[in-house]
Structure 1
Amino acid sequence: MKSSSEFYHALNIQTDLCIGCSHCMRACPTEALRVRNGKAELINNRCIDCGECYRVCPTHAISIEQDDFSQIFNYKVRIALIPSVLYGQFSSSFSQNDVHRALITIGFTDVWPVEDSVDYLVTKINEYTKNASHKPVISSFCPAIVRLIQVKFPSLVDNIALIRPPIDLTASYVKSKYIEEGNHNSDIGIFYVTPCAAKIVAVRRPEGDDSSDVTGIINMDFIYNKILKVLSNGNNDKNGEPDSKPSLGLRSSSWALTKGEAASIHGKALAIDGIWNVIEFLEMVENEELTGVDYLELRACDESCAGGILAPGNRFLTAENMLRDANSKVVWSIDQSMSRIKDYQKRVEDIANLKPLKPRSMLKLDEDMVRAMGKMERVNRLMCYLPGIDCGVCGAPSCVALAEDIVQGNGALSQCVFLQKIMENNKLNPEHSFRIMKKIWGENRFKKDCDKPIK
């Protein structure tokens, strides 16, 4: 059983498919993976569900959970909560209304765009940023980034905007409207179509909140295929729900893309996408090298949500489709926008703010400060002997990671092949060295295999 202090994860390693290739270990931005006994293993409290491991796995040994689609029929009111990224998966020959009708055809009773809450959210973010004591304020939109800061940059946790993202605000708003119309809470099922694993986690175990009004999760690649089948077969229900929702404006339609959020911030805002680019910027913020910036829009994926690991389309074409659709939108009048904002204020203002977030530093070697300092000294001493080339042959992604594993009782110096050579002169014989390597990489790694996958 996992400790309640451990993170919940939507990514799972299928050990029967894993070949221990170390691709995932090298791709992980928080060093959350090791290779042991010829298989990848996850360190739960380091993983941020960014999906970089999923992208690089050559055997598709990393899976992402989703709810059984049939469970939508357990509810009288079945709402598909869809991000604008879903529209971008389809060519211009299919309109947003076509996508809506297809969703009705496959079983939903209503469709609602996630970004419907953006106009209200903009007012909240700008108010928050204006009054924030910690600058730059960091967007809470991307849950992978929120977790990245918690585990790798804990000193910046107070910079994260304590405002719920669009998915939560829209879900609460929609539920409020349906209850007001006389529907019982237990009859309402809100199902979010997700482009990434991190948002699954954000729904299941939301940081800074107790629960979510989202009932279930459906992966975008799954729902895309169901929609495409309906559209391709011409089975689209023309009597479905084509125009019941207000059309998203330019700002809302592009919110999930890079610079979509930053463009609405009063003051100097920067938009950075791609997990490694984000890490570089966070290091600058942590070292106080970034000045005069009020707001940071940080997204883990390249091209933001258009590059989500569950989005089936090419991220650049998806972004182009979304911007094309956004630019064709009719601009709302001031009266329309204010009316919408006031309606959101009435329904979600009480739950719009997140509770303070807690740091979960992966660098913390012990809860006791004295013991933690002692372990850190040991890590530093071990680094005097380790080669510092981060070859990964030891089954850890770096020499520092191996040193940390050793002081935590999860590794040994003998795992390093360079030190094995030195130790041969003392007590480590070649047979023992061979057994160590087999324990890390598995028995079969040292047998001839002409059919191994080459990536």
Structure 2
Amino acid sequence: MEPFYHALKVASTACIGCTHCMSLCPTQAIRIKGGLATINKNACVDCGKCLKSCPQHAIYVEQDDFNQIFNFKHRIILLPTVLFGQFSEEITEQQIFAELHQMGFTEVIEVAQASGILAKAIQRYMEKNSYERPFISSFCPAIVRLIQVRFPSLIDHIVPLKQAMDLAAIFARKKYLDKGISPDEVGIFYVTPCAAKIAAVKSPVGDDQSNIDGVINLNFIYNKIQLGLTQHRDQPVGRVTERTYLSPESIAWDLSEGEASKFEGRCLAIDEIHNVIDILEKIENDELTDIDFLELRACDHSCAGGALVVNNRFLTIERLRKRMQASKHEQQQPDFDDIQEYESYLFKQGKLREKIPPRSIEQLDENMLVAMEKMEKLNRIMSVLPQIDCGACGAPACHTLARDVVQGKAKLNQCVFMQKILCNEALMTPEESLELSEKTWGLKRFGE
């Protein structure tokens, strides 16, 4: 199976091998080699914990070249609601839309417009498949991948529907197709608050191809909008024709409880990936058996705490709640291209085409007998390791090192405690011990 696509990258010129990222990675996907952090592509779920924790800013998120939008005659940008929460209250949605048009986009669509249809589709699926409780939302790509690699037994509980951003893209493309416009002339670009949604576009799970042509990091587009607002502050706001009305429920979709609040029964909304792991472990171990629906988000306070957002997540939530209050007093204006007209079409297109595959990082071998032999070896290795999880070997924990050794990815003598024992027994020289440490931490650590 091919590795996941990953947007998270390590800048070797900035990384100092400090282990902050390695210690916090929820899937233990990071190792230190040669004094630099390295990411195991089969284990990383693009949650962005490493990005947020790095004091050197050595981890970054790749994005597509912005100028590729001009390869298309019709340029559509899809916005998450959290983008609007980055701006102060005096900046209106109309101003933001106008600036995006100034940049070259021909249409602006808020992804949350598709949330109502998606909520109906989820409800229908749950009613038809009640035996698969608890249902797990597919909203967060990082969580879907987390379940693939750490909780594969729970894959069948994931609701096999596309995300709201996919439905919004399908809607936009169909709308232009119905106007007789060639699909080659339509470019659809999503503004992402996190790395996981980039991965979901580049390498969608349960589908062969995304309807989105490119991704733009939220912090990048925010800065471009702010620059435009400054440059055009003395000019009147250009006329914006797109419908900007969203219901309070749609505005809340990207926030914690945005989904869970829409369904009946015992529905839990869990955010921050380590909290999610705790709940999934309880579900897997049958400690929680009466849950109907799980809304699981990798980021603290959901997308408001995304790795690519600019401003404080609490201020973002406050601003969006004010927008929700304001929307209660607005009147929805009928729109010829209203997404509701495409509801039946989106119901059909919103299903995942393929079953989500397991990609367990816990599996030692596909052959059961070989896996059992490796497990015995792993247990023997653990019996001689200090089990203090110091990270000095370049792995986040003793158990991780033992697993790497069994898989042929590391050697037992990488453990500094084992090196000391071997030196005492004259089975290793101090020079050999130093050489091993240099392979892990790099020459600079030792003054060379």
Q: Secondary structure at the match of 1:393?
A: coil
CA deviation string 1:86-136 (max 9, x = no partner): 000001101111111110111111100011111111111111122332211
Q: Secondary structure at the match of 1:424?
A: helix
Partner of residue 284, structure 2 = 286
- Among 139, 142, 146, the residue aligned to 1:148: 146
Distance in 2 (CA, whole Å) between partners of 1:234 and 1:335 is 28
Distance in 2 (CA, whole Å) between partners of 1:251 and 1:364 is 41
Change (3 A) 1:243 1:249: farther
- Among 144, 166, 187, the residue aligned to 2:164: 166
* 1:328 Cα offset (Å): 1.2
* 1:240 Cα offset (Å): 4.0
Aligned-residue RMSD, C-alpha: 2.0
State the one-letter code of the partner of 1:215. D
State the one-letter code of the partner of 2:85. G
Partner of residue 247, structure 2 = 249
CA deviation string 1:333-359 (max 9, x = no partner): 99989x967523233222211121111
Q: Secondary structure at the match of 2:445?
A: helix
* 1:11 Cα offset (Å): 0.7
State the one-letter code of the partner of 2:122. I
Partner of residue 376, structure 1 = 375
State the one-letter code of the partner of 1:191. F
CA contact (8 A) 2:73 2:186 kept: yes
CA deviation string 1:260-293 (max 9, x = no partner): 1111112221101001111111111111111221
Q: Secondary structure at the match of 1:81?
A: strand
State the one-letter code of the partner of 2:96. V
Partner of residue 301, structure 1 = 299
* Counterpart check, 1:388 vs 2:387: yes
**Identity of aligned pairs, percent?**
48
Distance in 1 (CA, whole Å) between partners of 2:158 and 2:218 is 27
Q: Segments of 4+ in structure 1 off by > 3 A?
A: 235-241, 330-337, 339-342
* 1:232 Cα offset (Å): 1.9
Partner of residue 30, structure 1 = 27
* 1:330 Cα offset (Å): 3.4
- Show structure 2 runs of 5+ residues with no match: none
Change (3 A) 1:129 1:334: farther
Partner of residue 452, structure 1 = none
* 1:243 Cα offset (Å): 4.4
Distance in 1 (CA, whole Å) between partners of 2:116 and 2:260 is 13
CA contact (8 A) 1:102 1:236 kept: no
* Counterpart check, 1:13 vs 2:10: yes
More deviation, 279-288/237-246: 237-246
- Show structure 1 runs of 5+ residues with no match: 449-455
* 1:238 Cα offset (Å): 5.0
CA contact (8 A) 1:105 1:237 kept: no
Distance in 2 (CA, whole Å) between partners of 1:245 and 1:98 is 14
Partner of residue 415, structure 1 = 414
CA deviation string 1:195-235 (max 9, x = no partner): 00000000011001111111111101010001011112225
Q: Secondary structure at the match of 1:272?
A: strand
CA contact (8 A) 1:35 1:396 kept: yes
State the one-letter code of the partner of 1:207. V
CA contact (8 A) 1:269 1:297 kept: yes
Partner of residue 174, structure 2 = 176
* 1:63 Cα offset (Å): 1.6
Partner of residue 309, structure 2 = 311
Distance in 2 (CA, whole Å) between partners of 1:266 and 1:109 is 40
State the one-letter code of the partner of 2:279. F
* 1:36 Cα offset (Å): 0.9
Distance in 1 (CA, whole Å) between partners of 2:316 and 2:235 is 25
Q: Secondary structure at the match of 1:88?
A: helix
* 1:428 Cα offset (Å): 1.5
* 1:246 Cα offset (Å): 4.8
What aligned pairs does 1:214-233 form with structure 2 within 5 A after superposition? 214-233=212-231
TM value normalised by structure 1:
0.94
Q: Secondary structure at the match of 1:406?
A: helix
TM value normalised by structure 2:
0.95
- Among 58, 67, 79, the residue aligned to 2:64: 67
Change (3 A) 1:27 1:350: same
Change (3 A) 1:101 1:169: same
Q: Secondary structure at the match of 2:176?
A: helix
Partner of residue 51, structure 1 = 48
Partner of residue 327, structure 1 = 325
State the one-letter code of the partner of 1:441. W
CA deviation string 1:301-351 (max 9, x = no partner): 0010011111111111011111110121137999989x9675232332222
- Among 201, 204, 215, the residue aligned to 1:203: 201
State the one-letter code of the partner of 2:268. L
CA contact (8 A) 1:129 1:294 kept: no
Distance in 2 (CA, whole Å) between partners of 1:362 and 1:332 is 50
Change (3 A) 1:334 1:240: closer
Change (3 A) 1:122 1:236: farther
Q: Secondary structure at the match of 2:38?
A: strand
* Counterpart check, 1:97 vs 2:94: yes
More deviation, 153-162/408-417: 408-417
Q: Secondary structure at the match of 2:230?
A: helix
Change (3 A) 1:239 1:319: closer
* 1:236 Cα offset (Å): 8.5
* Counterpart check, 1:345 vs 2:343: yes
Distance in 1 (CA, whole Å) between partners of 2:92 and 2:67 is 26
Distance in 1 (CA, whole Å) between partners of 2:282 and 2:332 is 39
Partner of residue 192, structure 1 = 190
State the one-letter code of the partner of 2:310. P
CA contact (8 A) 1:88 1:322 kept: yes
* Counterpart check, 1:447 vs 2:444: no
CA contact (8 A) 2:245 2:333 kept: no
State the one-letter code of the partner of 1:288. D
Number of aligned residues: 444
State the one-letter code of the partner of 2:392. V
Distance in 1 (CA, whole Å) between partners of 2:155 and 2:167 is 22
Change (3 A) 1:231 1:362: same
State the one-letter code of the partner of 1:330. K
CA contact (8 A) 2:255 2:301 kept: yes
More deviation, 69-78/142-151: 69-78
* 1:20 Cα offset (Å): 1.0
Partner of residue 274, structure 1 = 272
